[in-house]
Amino acid sequence: MSYLLILGTVFLGLFSLHKDWHNYNPWVRKAVTLLLLVVGALSVIKNYRDNQDVQIARSKAANDINTLKTDLAGLQGQAKAANDAQTQNTKVFLDSLNRLSDKLRELQTQVKTEELRKQLASVQSDLQKTQKALAPAPQATLAFSFFPFINPSVGKGQMAAVTETALHLAPDGTVHIEFTILNLTDVSALDASITLYICVGCKFAKEPPDFQRLSGQSDVQRYMPFNQLLPKSYWRMLAIDIIPPAYAGSIDIGFSFRCRTCVLALESSSGTVHLLR
């Protein structure tokens, strides 16, 4: 297309010159004709070189991207292999320790002197400590739930989160949401905190109790620390009042969490509120 524009401009100039051919001196006609042809040729050459440079740059960028993808895939493969190897090595080592423990128990039934029994007991104690240190410690996971949540009587089922609810909008356009934090695992969540978030476009009608806005947090985020949450338990009922977007039929809220004994969760835990107008 660019070549057509250049050639079209040159031909248009030549046509204009030809139309008024008899109005110019012969040397002027030759000079203008030569100038138009030279300018057209130089423009074509420059455009060609520019296109070549663009193609080379695109090719180089594509090669660089492919190289980065290959390097990333290699690093991911190395990381996975290292993790798999570490898991396998730990399992093999624990199996070896278990076999040593079995041999120690056999020796304890065979030894005759009290001194040897004490030595074997000391060795077995060290082995058990090593096994406990190597065994992966269980970790806690926290979950968002609307309040009330599923909390059956003891022996009649398991506690479970409620992640979907329907709530009426108040006349002032706000919605009151009650929720809580669940620990559905068998591990206490120690030195914990959550970062609450509401939907993009939502606003806090007022600052929620127990929460604070940290420096650098967005308008839709609030922070709350707490010391611990015992296994199979919930924190308590929490409540917020928010102003959803006027056009929204439903909104999402939730939180991300951190604690000293928790898994490193990469995704947040959330729920959906269907708005009744």
Reported as a single tens digit per residue, the pLDDT across 155-164 is 678 899 999 9
pTM of the model: 0.54
Are residues 156 and 61 part of one domain? no
Reported as a single tens digit per residue, the pLDDT across 175-217 is 999 999 999 999 999 999 999 999 999 999 999 999 999 998 9
Q: Which residue ranges of the chain lie beneath pLDDT 70?
A: 1-40, 42, 44, 46-48, 50, 53-54, 57-136, 154-155
Residue closest to 137 by CA, chosen among 262, 229, 231, 265: 262
Are residues 168 and 116 part of one domain? no
Are residues 109 and 172 part of one domain? no
Which residues are CB-neighbours of 101 under 8 A, at least 6 positions away?
A: 124, 127, 128, 131
Q: How many residues appear in the chain?
A: 277
Total tally of structural domains belonging to the chain? 2
Are residues 240 and 154 part of one domain? yes
Are residues 131 and 31 part of one domain? yes
Are residues 148 and 41 part of one domain? no
**pLDDT of 13:** 57
Confirm if 118 and 167 have CB atoms less than 8 A apart. Answer: no
**pLDDT of 215:** 92
Range of the domain at 58: 1-136
Are residues 106 and 234 part of one domain? no
- CATH number of 272's domain: 2.60.40.10
